[in-house]
């Protein structure tokens, strides 16, 4: 399942509600990096909302490896969030967004494809949360446009692979697939 929406749309809360209703164990894969006080506060709020019995895995870069380590388990994997992971890839894996080109975009997208393949091969059910960033103004910088394009293409890959897709707007989920 893929849950998408704008920033602060309620998509994480919706995905968490779905996970709370799951009868099986929940594994929460958090991709966020704490780089400033605002992000620290955001991560704190997310942690407070999660039940203590959920197993949290904090992994900003190596999602394929993190999911591979869970392949022998049953349960529900909640990944929050795809867009954060893409940001981390651009900045942390020497994918210099100022030098962005089709090869680097393909490298990042191939990691998304590998991630989806590993999910498909395992037994975990999965909810992936991702931002919808392409509805606003055209970003004024090459870096912003590169991220928008990468995020949009990755969202399309995830949505195509997902059995269900929800768009969350103003806290209201709308099933679109």
Question: Tens digits of per-residue pLDDT, 114-149?
Answer: 999 999 999 999 999 999 998 888 999 888 888 999
14, 167 contact by CB (below 8 A): no
| C-alpha span between 89 and 87 (Å, rounded) | 5
Question: What pLDDT is recorded for position 13?
Answer: 95
For 132, phi then psi, to 5°, come to -100, 105
Question: What pLDDT is recorded for position 106?
Answer: 93
**103: pLDDT strictly greater than 90:** no
Residue 150, preceding peptide bond in cis (omega within 30° of 0): no
Q: How many CB atoms lie within 10 A of CB 91?
A: 17
pLDDT interval class at 94 (50, 70, 90): low
Active site includes 46?
yes
pTM above the 0.75 mark?
yes
Judge: domain 2-175, CATH 3.40.50.300: yes
- Of 11, 46, 50, 104, catalytic: 46
């Amino acid at each position: 399942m893929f849950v998408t929406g704008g920033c602060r749309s309620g998509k994480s809360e919706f995905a968490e509600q779905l996970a709370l209703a799951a009868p099986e164990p929940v594994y929460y894969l958090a991709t966020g990096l704490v780089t400033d006080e605002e992000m620290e506060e955001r991560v704190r709020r997310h942690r407070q909302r999660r039940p203590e019995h959920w197993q949290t895995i904090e992994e900003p870069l190596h999602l394929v490896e993190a999911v591979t380590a869970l392949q022998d388990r049953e349960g529900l994997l909640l990944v929050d969030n795809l867009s954060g992971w893409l940001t981390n890839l651009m900045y942390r894996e020497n994918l210099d967004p100022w030098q962005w080109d089709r090869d680097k975009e393909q490298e990042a997208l191939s990691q998304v494809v590998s991630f989806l393949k590993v999910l498909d091969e395992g037994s975990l059910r999965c909810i992936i949360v991702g931002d919808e960033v392409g509805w606003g103004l055209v970003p004024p910088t090459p870096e912003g446009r590169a991220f928008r394009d990468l995020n949009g293409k990755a969202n399309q890959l995830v949505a195509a692979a997902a059995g269900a897709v929800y768009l969350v707007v103003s806290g209201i989920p709308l099933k679109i697939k």
